[in-house]
Structure 1
Amino acid sequence: MSPKTSQSGGRPAGGKRGGLGGMLTPARVTVLLLAILALIFIFENTRTTEIRLLIPEVTMPLWVALLGTGVIGALCGAFFMKGRG
């Protein structure tokens, strides 16, 4: 029998478990905790600040600028990780 077709202990080939246990890997838990900490940091900084966007200077709440920067960073990370998988 080929290793790809054999199964032991009722588990699917590749050793992956179903359910919640398969979803909660240490890397995913770490990313989730970092995202929660980032959101706490963002929403704790609510004062208004002046931000220079290339040429114009705009006044906005700091949390909007931090959240926008975080979303742009997450999108860039997702774009570059997409090619690795």
Structure 2
Amino acid sequence: MSPKDVSSGSKSSTGAFTPARILVIIIAVLSIVFIAENTEEVEVRLIVPLVTMPLYVWLIVMFLAGMACGAYVFRRRTK
């Protein structure tokens, strides 16, 4: 007896554009647009010093910090 193919013939969401990936792309594009629209100077207090920089710089820094935290929390552990 030969083993039977148990895979289904229907299309599944295993391609390059799954619904989750499309959602991530949409959120990333909206984040970039939001950052690009907010370019005025703002003052931010970092514990003690008061730092004045364009808002888009702070938004990019917080975006990267969030991505780093997410990557750390959801990283795949090797066995």
Count of equivalent residues: 75
- Which residue of structure 1 lines up, in the alignment, with residue 64 of structure 2? 71
- Which residues of structure 2 form unaligned runs of 5+? none
TM superposition outliers: structure 1 runs of 4+ over 2 Å: 6-9
SS at match of 1:82: coil
Provide the C-alpha distance between the structure 2 equivalents of 1:39 and 1:61, rounded to a whole number of angstroms: 15
- Which residue of structure 2 lines up, in the alignment, with residue 24 of structure 1? 17
SS at match of 1:59: strand
- Cα drift, residue 48 of structure 1: 0.3
1:32-51 C-alpha deviation (Å, 9 max, x unpaired)? 10010011001100000101
> Is the alpha carbon distance of 1:84 and 1:32 closer, same or farther for their aligned partners in structure 2, counting shifts above 3 Å?
farther
Tell me whether 1:81 sits opposite 2:63 in the alignment. Answer: no
TM-score (norm: length of structure 1): 0.73
> Is the alpha carbon distance of 1:41 and 1:16 closer, same or farther for their aligned partners in structure 2, counting shifts above 3 Å?
closer
TM-score (norm: length of structure 2): 0.78
- Cα drift, residue 81 of structure 1: 0.9
1:50-79 C-alpha deviation (Å, 9 max, x unpaired)? 011111100000000011001100111111
Provide the C-alpha distance between the structure 1 equivalents of 2:31 and 2:38, rounded to a whole number of angstroms: 11
Provide the C-alpha distance between the structure 1 equivalents of 2:60 and 2:46, rounded to a whole number of angstroms: 15
Provide the C-alpha distance between the structure 1 equivalents of 2:6 and 2:27, rounded to a whole number of angstroms: 36
